[in-house]
Structure 1
Amino acid sequence: MKTSTLFAVCGIVCGLTAVSLGFAGKPWQAGLFGLAAGVWNIATLIMERRGGDDD
């Protein structure tokens, strides 16, 4: 599995966790997971732009 694919999966998982925590009424935990999702997505974009084969 490529590293960028793994980063994208982590970003999606963090985003879904943030949404579920938000609906559960835990705003600061949701904010932290939302921030983590953003960081994973930025890392994914950087990995894709590098163009390296990261197997």
Structure 2
Amino acid sequence: MPELLRGADLEWYQSIVAELTEVGVPEELALAGRRPLAAFPILDIVAIADRTDKEPLAVAEV
């Protein structure tokens, strides 16, 4: 899911990862620990895909 983030959401995600790595958390662990936060919008994506009868990935890319 993080690879689909854009704009302010991507900046927010990157800032969290940067903060963690700056205090010594290995990047791989910082990324893994923040993936659930980046996945939170999936709930909206699935709801919109269901209402519009579109594929969730197509909705996520928009």
Q: TM-score range by the shorter chain?
A: 0.3 to 0.5
TM normalised by structure 1 equals 0.37
The structure whose RCO (Cα within 8 Å, separation 6+) is larger is: 1
TM value normalised by structure 2: 0.35
